Amino acid sequence: MNTRDLEYLVAVAEELHFGRAAERCHASQPALSGQLRKLEDRLGVQVFERNKRSVRLTDVGREIVERARTVLFHVDALERVAAASRDPFAGHCTLGMPPTIGPFLTPLLLPALRHYVPDLQLDLVEDFTDNLEKQLAAGELDMAILATSPTQAILLETVLYEEPFWVALPSGHPLTEQETVDVEKIEPRELLLLSDGHCLRDQIYEVCKLNRDSASGEGAPRTQKTSLSTILSLVGSGHGVTLVPAMSLGDAWVTDAGIAVRAEQSGTAGRTVRLTFRREYPRMTLVEKIADIIAGIVPNTVHPVRR
């Protein structure tokens, strides 16, 4: 038995199709099928039920596949430990970010990474915070840049920067007459929010001291399935008010004649952005390097912790 056999096993279990699994593993279908037959013979059990129309896992097959995934995870970790000892700044790295961070940080981060760690091959993943945390814990991500502390004990964090929230208003809104805005003076029915699942939504509820029934009420458009850019377009056309993270102030929407931006009055509304990783992640030198790079590139609208 070798790791290649286990890769074949997991691929068939996930694809439930020998042809697609062979293509995914860059193997011929006869070779893949033959190896799995040998594996079943060695184990003395049937992992897959096969017929001309379908493939399904047997009960014992499900347990075997889960253990195969665990073995492959640890083999991958072994290889990463070895690679990190050779050159911690080379090789592959998968980095996750939620959609309220990625569009604003990525354009600054990628050129800096190319300059400081040119041999690093970066894959970016954008998803909701909860999904990113699950992928991180499962080993599907190496790191994630999040605006909430991790909830799983297997994960650790290093704080990158403190990011204030600013208030985006339609031009001509009464609150634009003030240099700073008290967020508690914003009419709840005017407030435009992202959908459930966005941590920014929950943070805005908290800083505005709102309950979920009071915001986005009668008179405001429903924004349950929109992006931050769409919400800002609605602000520009006079349909409501929102809070935006300071990093977004460098984006093109700021020049929109229909939007006015004001600082939040108390100076306390904002979020803490951190780099999150697994407790046993072997490339801590790379974690520290990426954290330092981010601290050096963020604009002066945020407050880096590491400088």
Provide the pairing of β-strand 143-146 with 91-97: parallel
CA dihedral 191, 192, 196, 199 (to 10 degrees): -80
The CATH topology of domain 88-161+272-304 is D-Maltodextrin-Binding Protein; domain 2 (3.40.190)
In the chain, what are the domain boundaries? 3-84, 88-161+272-304, 164-264
Question: Hey, do 88-161+272-304 and 164-264 end up sharing a CATH topology, with the first three levels equal?
Answer: yes
Predicted confidence at residue 196, as pLDDT, reads 57
What 8-state DSSP symbol labels residue 241?
A: B
Q: Are 206 and 233 in contact (CB under 8 A)?
A: no
The CATH topology of domain 3-84 is Arc Repressor Mutant, subunit A (1.10.10)
CATH code for 164-264? 3.40.190.10
Q: Is the dihedral of CA 210, 97, 261, 255 positive or negative?
A: negative
pTM, full prediction: 0.69
Which candidate, 124, 203, 202, places its Cα nearest to that of 162?
203
Digitized pLDDT (tens) for each residue of the chain, 307 residues in all: 899 999 999 999 999 999 999 999 999 999 999 999 999 999 999 999 988 788 999 999 999 999 999 999 889 878 877 776 778 898 889 999 998 899 999 999 999 999 999 999 999 999 999 999 999 999 999 999 999 999 999 999 999 999 999 999 999 899 999 899 988 888 888 888 876 556 777 777 676 665 555 544 454 545 555 678 888 888 888 888 888 899 988 777 777 778 999 998 888 888 999 999 999 898 999 999 999 999 999 998 899 987 6
Instruction: Measure the CA–CA gap between 139 and 277, rounded to whole angstroms.
Output: 10
Instruction: Measure the CA–CA gap between 307 and 303, rounded to whole angstroms.
Output: 9
Q: Residue 94's CB: how many other CB atoms inside 10 A?
A: 17
